[in-house]
Structure 1
Amino acid sequence: MSMKIIHKAETRGHANHGWLDSHHTFSFASYYNPERMGFGLLRVLNDDIVAPGMGFGAHPHDNMEIVSIPLSGELAHQDSTGNKKVIQTNDVQIMSAGSGLTHSEFNNSKTDQVNFLQIWVFPKEQNIKPRYEQKTFNPADRQNKLQTVVSPEQGAESIWINQDAWFTLGSLKTGFTEDYKLHKSGNGVYAFVLEGDLEIDGEKLNKRDGMGISDFETITIKATSDAELLLMEVPMN
């Protein structure tokens, strides 16, 4: 029998700093909920809107896999490993903080806000050499199908993560149905609805709702409207 936990969009933690409007699915910064310390090895899922020209100054991280997915706008990134990049819609970025680095993130536009997801996953191996990777994914490859954008498979189409985790995106038309099968036994999946309405394993989910599911092998995904979906498959311990 699968185990499920549902987080409706309006129950997320919320902090509006003016320049930053952030919704936290799990405990983060000043939002603390002991019931929401993550899902398996998924620790942070932040839905951030950054005002034009604003951003996060240089700050340190270590031993965390940090995935950034821009939903609209452009995000400029700079880090102590020498990377200076801009990521935009259809890009996915990963940073293995490993033994430690500093980075900054700023809205690359002086006129438009940027909305991006920042996702933290605990690493498989500790203190690896810090690394950075980004890739542009063809949105046609997720039209009415699931596109893997993050995986532990070196040399795959996806970008590499230092964990037995798989992230999948889908742009799904009304009526789309597909079964999702776990890549690794014992993993769980956290589903996050970016747009539209879906039914996952029989549960109705709407825009920005999240659901964690564990103790299963296959789940059925149905789009009840045109929908955008992110699936994050992670180890549970």
Structure 2
Amino acid sequence: MTAPAPVVDVRRAADRFSTRIGWLDSHHSFSFSSHYDPDNTHHGLLLVNNDDIVTPGQGFDTHPHRDMEIVTWVLQGSLVHQDSMGHSGVIYPGLAQRMSAGTGILHSEKNDSWRLGTAAGDHASVHSDPVHFIQMWVVPDESGITPGYEQLEIDDELLSGGLVTVASGMPEHVDHSAIRIRNKFAAMHVARLQPGAAPVTLPDSPLGHVFVARGEADMEGVGPLHEGDAVRLTGSGGRRLSSATGAEVIVWEMHATIG
């Protein structure tokens, strides 16, 4: 069988679907909610790549999910998570979170408008900081699993500026300090590219999704990528990625696709 021709599909930030209401500024890389394009429903195993900014004291009220691996990556501020399995916590930059919806789970995500004091005896105070986060949905390779939740501090590893595995279901990443997702054909990596540092090399996988979460980057054979831009790779991995000014980039490595 002849392998498909390599494809490099650049998607610019301004071309994304958008949802703007009083407390939410959200940009969707794929069809989501009322935004539907039959030619833009997923890439590989990735169904959702939402770039969300939520104002203080606001957020997503309790809502259901089923048979989905949901990874949340905070860029700025903090996000409060609560779910029907009794999990609760605050997600902040460098702390990866995974929720396996499985047979069904309810959860909420909010920008809590209270901040604890830093000194002993200090009282909580109101803050006015937005929370900026990327939420990604990947289909599991098995439906009907028991719902689950995991979070892990990754921040120290990101200081290297290299490509760090943050979430994976791939067997070769079992020994990595990464949260586990229930799909053995997918892994998410993050790089905080340092200005002028040596390039990182993207995984040489059949399918890849590169998203510039912050800053500006440069991809070999593609050129400049700005904040919010994405590149969908098919049979075209192994390219080098760098930044002259600094960037945070999220990379999905995928070895299968939906359907």
Question: What range is the shorter-chain TM-score in?
Answer: over 0.9
Whether 1:191 aligns to 2:232 is: no
**Counterpart mapping for 1:1-237 below 5 A:** 1-110=5-114, 111-139=128-156, 141-152=158-169, 153-154=173-174, 156-163=176-183, 164-175=185-196, 176-182=198-204, 186=206, 188-203=207-222, 204-237=224-257
- Structure 1 stretches of 5 or more lacking a match? none
Write the distance in 2 (CA, Å) between the matches of 1:81 and 1:36: 33
Aligned partner of 1:135: which letter?
A: L
Larger of the two Rg values belongs to structure: 2
Distance apart, 1:165 and its partner CA: 1.3
- Structure 2 stretches of 5 or more lacking a match? 115-127
Aligned partner of 2:146: which letter?
A: K
1:4 and 1:158, CA in 2 relative to 1: closer, same or farther beyond 3 A? same
Give identity over the alignment, percent.
38
SS state at 1:33 partner: coil
Contact 2:45–2:186, Cα closer than 8 Å, also in 1: no
Of stretches 141-150 and 5-14 in structure 1, the one that deviates more from structure 2 is 141-150
How many residues matched? 234
Of stretches 26-35 and 215-224 in structure 1, the one that deviates more from structure 2 is 215-224
SS state at 2:200 partner: strand
SS state at 2:158 partner: helix
Contact 1:39–1:236, Cα closer than 8 Å, also in 2: no
Write the distance in 1 (CA, Å) between the matches of 2:94 and 2:201: 24
RMSD of equivalent CA atoms: 1.6
Distance apart, 1:209 and its partner CA: 0.3
Write 1 or 2 for the structure with the bigger share of strand. Answer: 1
SS state at 1:16 partner: strand
Q: TM-score, normalised by structure 1?
A: 0.92
Q: TM-score, normalised by structure 2?
A: 0.85
